[in-house]
Amino acid sequence: MKKESRKVIIAGNWKMNKTPSETKVAVAETAKLTSGKCGCEVVLCVPFVDIAAATEAAKGTNVKIGAQNVHFKASGAYTGEISAAMLCECGVEYVIVGHSERRQYFGETDETVNLRTRAALDAGLKVILCLGEVLEQRQAGITEEIVSMQTKLDLAGIPAEQMKNVVIAYEPVWAIGTGLTATPEQAEEVCAMIRKVVAGLYTPEIAEALTIQYGGSMNDGNAAELLAKLDVDGGLIGGASLVPEKFAKIVDAAQA
Ligand code: 13P
C-alpha cells in the first residue's frame, strides 16, 4: 500500500478551550470552511461538555467529533471519569488517548493508556493514540527507544482486526505548544520508525494501512511540508485548530 491509499486525517485537539456556545459557532464555521475537502478526514476533539453542541453542529457536515480521553472501566465509582459507552451514545466517533498532557499532569502511564485504548476500541470508537519523546530524551539520543517502547506497550494485547480503528499521533513533547516544530525530516524519521515497529508487532500490511499523524506546533505555515513526507499521514493540531480559518488552511494543505 502506498501513502496515497492511506487515510489522511487532520484532527483538532481543542484541549481545555471553548464553551458549548463557542463550540457551536466554531464547529459550524470549520464545517463551512472545509466542506467538500474530501482529500482527508476532518475531526475536532472537544472537551466532554462540548460534545453535545459539537455533534449537533457537525450533523450533515464532513466534520467528525472526537473526545480527548476515556476511562477504561465500563461504569462504577470513578468520580470525574467518562466511559466509552457514554461517548458512543453521545455521537463521538474518535477519542484521543495518551496525550502527553494527560501523561505529564494526570499520571497517565503506558499501562493506563493501553487500558483506555482497549476499552475505547472494544466499544467501537476510533482511537488517536498519542506518543512521543520529551526534550531530554531527544537530547540523550534515545528517541527511537522511547517511542518504540511506547508503541509496544500502548498497543499490547490489541488484536490485529482492531488496528483499522487505531491512528497513531507522533507528538514530540518539546514541540507541543512551544512553536518549535519538528523538521519534516525529524517527523518522517520517527513516523517511519513507528510504522516499522507496528509491522513487527502485526504485519507489514497493517503497518502500511495505519494512519500516523504528526502533532506539535503544526500550523497553516508548516503543514504542507510536514504532510508531504511519506510516512506523515495527517496532523493532530492544538492551538491552530481553535481558529477555524487556520485549521481550514491545514485541511487545504492535506488536499494535495
Ligand atoms: P499545538 O499544536 O498547540 O502545539 O498542540 C499539539 C497537540 O498537543 C495536539 O494534540
pTM to 2 decimal places: 0.98
pLDDT tens-digit map of 59-75: 999 999 999 999 999 99
Q: In the chain, how many domains are there?
A: 1
* 217 located within any domain: yes
* 196 located within any domain: yes
Q: What is the CATH number of the domain that holds 168?
A: 3.20.20.70
* 212 located within any domain: yes
What is the per-residue pLDDT for 5?
A: 82
**Distance (Å) from CA 76 to ligand 1 centroid:** 32
Atom of ligand 1 nearest to the CA of 218: 2
Q: Is 71 a catalytic residue?
A: no
* 252 located within any domain: no
The string of DSSP codes covering 121-152 is HHTT-EEEEEE---HHHHHTT-HHHHHHHHHH
What is the per-residue pLDDT for 122?
A: 98
Q: Are 227 and 253 in contact (CB under 8 A)?
A: yes
**Distance (Å) from CA 251 to ligand 1 centroid:** 16
* 239 located within any domain: no
Please give all residues whose beta carbon lies within 6 A of any atom in ligand 1, as ranges: 13, 99, 171, 176-177, 215-218, 236-240
pLDDT tens-digit map of 210-232: 999 999 999 999 999 999 999 99
Q: Is 171 a catalytic residue?
A: yes
What is the per-residue pLDDT for 1?
A: 52
The single residue listed with the C-alpha cell 464553551 is 19
* 253 located within any domain: no
Domain that holds residue 67: 3-233
Q: Which three cell numbers stand for residue 12?
A: 483538532
* 246 located within any domain: no
pLDDT in tens, the chain (256 residues): 568 789 999 999 999 999 999 999 999 999 999 999 988 999 999 999 999 999 999 999 999 999 999 999 999 999 999 999 999 999 999 999 999 999 999 999 999 999 999 999 999 999 999 999 999 999 999 999 999 999 999 999 999 999 999 999 999 999 999 988 999 999 999 999 999 999 999 999 999 999 999 999 999 999 999 999 999 999 999 999 999 999 999 999 999 7
* 177 located within any domain: yes
Ligand 1 binding pocket mutation candidate from 171, 214, 246, 249 (most atoms within 8 A of CB)? 171
User: What whole-number distance in Å separates Cα of residue 213 and Cα of residue 45?
Assistant: 14
**Helix H or strand E segment including 10:** strand 9-13
